[in-house]
Amino acid sequence: MISDSMEKELFNQLNHEFHSAYLYLAMSAYCSNIEFNGAARWLKLQYEEEILHATKIYNYLIEQGVHVILKEIPQPPSEFGSVLEVFIASRDHEQQMTARLNVLSDLALREKDHATYNLLQWFVNEQVEEEASVGEIISKLKLVKSDGYGLLMVDNELGSRAAPAATA
């Protein structure tokens, strides 16, 4: 059984995961609009992955006997600038999510809630991958700058991303 404080923080994290999905869907729509369809596909798949993350927390709360109450999801921005700026916004968002998950992990340790801590470690490890993936994309976009051929190559590579495996 999880504590009231942990339940509250997991509800907040659940909402943040859904907001992440919403943010990535907005980024995908933006990239589609500026005709970077590979980036749009990559970001749409990231949206799907964030839904899986939210579902993982949702399922955990249900398994813990918690009555899940969903909150309102804030509206994401609709404009992001260049494709590089889209991925910088993504990286910044992922770094914020990492910080949130570290705080949650600390709470689970303080409360000696090993089951929740175990769940959160999956997310902490996932964040390493998330930040590295986006960091690599940013490096490539910085390398090609505004070179049309280079941007086309990066966009094509982003479009080849495989769909996320169901983990929830």
pLDDT digits (tens, 9 = 90+) for 126-138: 999 999 999 999 9
Confidence of residue 167 (pLDDT cuts 50, 70, 90): low
- In this prediction, residue 165 carries a pLDDT of 80
Chain-centroid distance of CA 58 in Å reads 15
On whether the 4-159 domain is CATH 1.20.1260.10, my answer is yes
The helix or strand, by DSSP H or E, that contains position 137, with its residue range, turns out to be helix 114-144
pLDDT digits (tens, 9 = 90+) for 72-124: 999 999 999 999 999 999 999 999 999 999 999 999 999 999 999 999 999 99
- In this prediction, residue 50 carries a pLDDT of 97
CA 120, CA 81: separation in Å to the nearest integer? Answer: 33
Pair of tokens at residue 124: 């902490």
Chain-centroid distance of CA 134 in Å reads 11
pLDDT digits (tens, 9 = 90+) for 50-82: 999 999 999 999 999 999 999 999 999 999 999
Percent of the chain with pLDDT over 70: 98
- In this prediction, residue 52 carries a pLDDT of 97
What average pLDDT does range 36-59 have in this prediction? 98
- In this prediction, residue 168 carries a pLDDT of 46
Pair of tokens at residue 29: 């729509």
Environment class of residue 21 by beta-carbon count within 10 Å: exposed (0-12), middle (13-18) or buried (19+)?
buried
- In this prediction, residue 10 carries a pLDDT of 98
pLDDT digits (tens, 9 = 90+) for 2-17: 999 999 999 999 999 9
CA 152, CA 148: separation in Å to the nearest integer? Answer: 6
Q: How many CB atoms lie within 10 A of CB 104?
A: 21
Q: How many CB atoms lie within 10 A of CB 6?
A: 20
* Prediction pTM value: 0.95
SS3 54: helix
Chain-centroid distance of CA 140 in Å reads 20
- In this prediction, residue 23 carries a pLDDT of 98
Q: Is the per-residue pLDDT at 25 higher than 90?
A: yes
